[in-house]
Amino acid sequence: MSEYDGIEEREEGKSKMPLGMTILFAGLIIFGLCYLYLFSPQTTGWSQLTQYQQHSEALKQNVTIPEVKKTAQPGESEVASAALGPALYKENCAMCHGENFEGGIGPVLGGPKFIYGNTLADYIRVIGSGTKNGMPSFSSQLSTEKIRAVANYAFSHHKK
């Protein structure tokens, strides 16, 4: 045995690594090499860019943003939808967003900030398609005209 700074070491400990440490070291090296081979983009074909492009394509196919007409004077259908908006809001939206847009289960809609965009087209898109944060899609329950009516009503109460 030799002593260095008051620590005694056996001679065999200097030249030989314990068997358990040797097995662990070799196992980690083998695991690392297998991992690098099996999960590298060259062997799997996976890339972050491909994932992003596939996700973008899926969103483009699933979400359609209806055109928003901007006219100087409201037509008959717009006047009718303006009258229909409050009733549809109370029936379909007020339970989550509150009678006065104050929020509840859903976020505040009278906001100065709408988290999914600040345009009428954003309101139409969210009502029609829903969101991943819990807002259901109303495209199966409401026609495009009714979705526009509710969106116009909610957007008219949006504080800028």
Q: Tell me the H-state helices in the chain.
A: 11-15, 19-38, 41-44, 48-62, 76-92, 94-97, 120-129, 144-156
CATH architecture, domain defined by 63-156: Orthogonal Bundle (1.10)
pLDDT band for position 25 (cuts 50, 70, 90): very high
Residue 159: its pLDDT value, please?
Answer: 62
For residue 92, pLDDT over 50 is answered with yes
Collect all residues with Cβ–Cβ distance below 8 Å to 90 and sequence separation of at least 6. 99
Which of 16-20, 28-32, 97-101, 111-115 is predicted with the least confidence, judged by mean pLDDT?
111-115
pLDDT of residue 72: 43
Q: What is the residue-wise DSSP string for 130-142?
A: --TTSPPP-TTTS
pLDDT reading at 158 higher than 90: no
What is the model's pLDDT at position 10? 72
pLDDT-derived band of residue 102, with 50, 70 and 90 as boundaries?
confident
- 107-147 tens-digit pLDDT: 777 766 777 777 888 888 888 888 888 888 888 888 888 88
Contact 68, 122 (CB under 8 A): no
What pLDDT does residue 79 have? 59
Q: What is the pLDDT of residues 40-89, one digit of tens each?
A: 888 878 788 888 888 888 777 765 555 544 444 455 555 555 678 888 88
pTM above 0.75, yes or no: no
For residue 1, what pLDDT band results from cuts at 50, 70 and 90?
low
Residues of the chain with CATH 1.10.760.10: 63-156
- Residue type (1 letter), 45: G
